[in-house]
Amino acid sequence: MRIDIITLFPEFFNAYFEYSILKRAKENGKAEIIIHNLRDHSTNKQKSVDDYQFGGGAGMVMCIQPIDDCIGKLKSERDYDEVIYLSPDGETLNQQICNTLSTYKNIILLCGHYKGIDQRVREHIITKEISIGDYVLTGGEVAAAILSDSIIRLIPGVISDETSALTDSFQDNLLAPPIYTRPSNYKGWEVPEVLLSGNEKLITEWREQEAIKRTEEKRPDLFE
């Protein structure tokens, strides 16, 4: 899978993809992450990519020309399944969206900044808008990192035990059941006996029941 990230601050991503599962995914050829500096596509001497908004108002707006040129160049080189704009008023990210995106071959992520991007980009170039929650950040870089992480870990072969990702919270609209490791008794805090029984059928049933119970207590909205 290839993810192209368009940003005003490419340095933000220097370290993020160099650890743990994400690093291994890159090294194993499962994921290719390419960072593009939007300023490289500006046509003015100052390499500026923003301007005042028509009609007045506070905040600068990212211009259409650099964005169109950058995305246009990428699309001339390969086909993309989605061109995604990270926006607080986009569709709220959930596990089902991550599952779908993880099956794609190529996607573009556009990180906004300032007041946002020219509306014409959203109307004519962007194919999908995604939000990571009902709040506003200084830019889309954090959201792009989160989205990339949530997608890459689902790609077959990225996690050594692929069933691990399939039993995460929000798969099947349930929270994950409680998990434990050694020691089985710590300060009198004991691991449920069923997990020590070795009976896979009973363990599976216990986990299913606990997942439902946990979801009812913490996220009843998932049953709606």
Q: Which domain range does residue 103 map to?
A: 2-152
d(CA 90, CA 130): 4
- Mean pLDDT along residues 208-222: 93
State the pLDDT at residue 36. Answer: 98
- pLDDT for 151-182, tens place per residue? 999 999 998 766 666 666 677 788 889 999 99
How far apart CA 179 and CA 63 sit, in angstroms, is 48
End-to-end CA distance of the chain: 33
pLDDT value of residue 170: 72
Beta-carbon-side half-sphere exposure of residue 51 (alpha carbons within 13 Å): 12
pLDDT of residue 136: 93
Same domain, yes or no, for 46 and 12?
Answer: yes
Same domain, 118 and 176: no
pLDDT, mean of residues 78-94 = 96
Note the pLDDT of residue 166: 63
Q: Which pLDDT score, from 0 to 100, does residue 63 have?
A: 96
Q: What is the CATH number of the domain that holds 142?
A: 3.40.1280.10
Boundary of a domain, candidates 123, 152, 181: 152
Residue 98, Cα to own-chain centre: how many angstroms?
A: 7
**β-pair type (189-190, 116-117):** unpaired
pLDDT digits (tens, 9 = 90+) for 91-142: 999 999 999 999 999 999 999 999 999 999 999 999 999 999 999 999 999 9
Residues 118 and 10 in one domain: yes
pLDDT band at 61 (very low <50, low <70, confident <90, very high): very high
Q: Is residue 158 part of a domain?
A: no
3-state secondary structure string, the chain?
CEEEEEECCHHHHCCCCCCHHHHHHHHCCCCEEEEEEHHHHCCCCCCCCEEECCCCCCCEEECHHHHHHHHHHHHHHCCCCEEEEEEEEEEECCHHHHHHHCCCCEEEEEECECCEECHHHHHHCCCEEEECCCCCCCECHHHHHHHHHHHHCCCCCCCCCCHHHHCCCCHHHCCCCCCCCCCCEECCEECCHHHHCCCHHHHHHHHHHHHHHHHHHHCHHHHC
Pair 32, 61: CB distance under 8 Å = no
Is 140 inside a domain boundary? yes
Question: Is residue 160 situated within a structural domain?
Answer: no
80 & 183 share domain: no
pLDDT on residue 172: 78
| 159 located within any domain | no
Q: Each residue of 16-38: pLDDT tens digit?
A: 999 999 999 999 999 999 999 99
* Residue-averaged pLDDT of the chain: 94
